[in-house]
Structure 1
Amino acid sequence: MKKDITSYEQRAHVGRLLHRSESRLVVALDKELEPFGVTAAQYVILAALWYDRADTAAQLCKELSYTPGAMTRMIDRLEQKRLVCRVPHPDSRRANKLELTEPGRATFPELLAASTTVIDRYFGGYSASELALLESMLERMLAQE
């Protein structure tokens, strides 16, 4: 019996589809967040702070796969918009913690609603079991690192 071998072309096609899918989601999210003056890239930082997935630039870099330089620029922009502030880290004199400002905390629910609109548009037609399967496959792929 022949072993079923997935071709390189098929695997590469899946990679291209993943990239195109992410790009479309980002463009749609950018468009939905435009009235708030926030980009999709900035939104994911705000969401990580809102949900306590990170509270330092280093943790955000790891969570979001950003370079330290790119993260610094993003945090600077969010500070200029008065959505985020840097505060001294209680455990390190050299580090800063990041926090949502009062305007950041007040605005985030509206940003979340805008994000939900995009997510529902792209994933609303999938069943819970289909989403669970996709999620498990993506997690398995990421575990290959």
Structure 2
Amino acid sequence: MSGQAPVSPLEAHLGYWLRFVSNQVSHAFALKVAARDVTVAEWVVLRELYGQDAVVPSMLAERLGMTRGAISKLADRLVAKQLVTRTIHGDDRRYQVLALTDTGQALVPELSALADQNDAEFFGHLDASQRAAIQEALQDIVRRHGLRSVPVE
């Protein structure tokens, strides 16, 4: 086996540490929103609808980097939970808009507070410059690689 490059340990990879932290942060947040009977993906849709009158599902899919089918399934679940309304306009059943119900509108600030709490639990010990440096580095990676899909799980 001489001549082969040495095999680097897992811990030598920045991706390993990003995934390690990401998994823990995501899991903790998923548990928090699950206590409100919402998934992380549903939270993302609810937050995107917050403050909007009504949104066409295809526009929502575009903004979130999701497929129309995924948005449709999420909308179905949120309609069933009475957090979102789906209104069909005119004779064309394909033209629909989504909007938060009053219950959905009231829930978003609660879920946002859970997101803030989760961030504080994992990153609150960092000073502002450390947080800004991490965020700037990650946003640079997103830009450089043209990443578009919003993380939902």
- For the aligned pair, the TM-score class normalised by the smaller chain equals 0.7 to 0.9
The 2-side partners of 1:112 and 1:74 are apart by: 19
Q: 1:58 to 1:126 in 2, by over 3 A?
A: farther
Q: Give the TM-score normalised by structure 2.
A: 0.73
Q: How does 1:58-137 map to 2 (within 5 A)?
A: 58-88=58-88, 94-137=94-137
Larger Rg over CA atoms: 2
Deviation for aligned residue 1:120: 1.0
* Structure 2 gaps, min length 5: 1-7, 147-153
2:139 paired residue number? 139
Q: Which residue of 2 aligns with 1:35?
A: 35
Change beyond 3 A, Cα 1:101–1:136: same
Q: Which has the higher contact order (CA 8 A, sep 6+)?
A: 2
Q: Percent identity?
A: 31
- How far is the alpha carbon of 1:64 from its aligned partner? 2.9
TM-score in terms of structure 1 length: 0.76
Q: What is the CA-CA distance between 1:24 and the residue it aligns to?
A: 2.0
User: Shift of residue 59 of structure 1?
Assistant: 3.0
SS at match of 1:87: strand
SS at match of 1:85: strand
* 1:48 pairs with 2:41: no
Structure 2 vs 1, CA of residues 77 and 143 (structure 1 numbering), >3 Å: closer, same or farther? same
Q: Provide the aligned C-alpha RMSD in A.
A: 2.8
User: Greater helix percent: which structure?
Assistant: 1
Residues 1:56 and 1:128: Cα distance change in structure 2 (over 3 Å): farther
The CA distance in 1 between the partners of 2:32 and 2:44, in whole Å, is 14
In structure 2, distance between residues paired with 1:95 and 1:9: 53
Would the alpha carbon gap of residues 123 and 55 (structure 1) be closer, same or farther in structure 2, given more than 3 Å must change?
farther
**Structure 1 alignment gaps of length 5 or more:** 1-7
**Partner Cα distance (1:51, 1:43) in 2:** 14
Residue 66 (structure 1) shift: 2.2
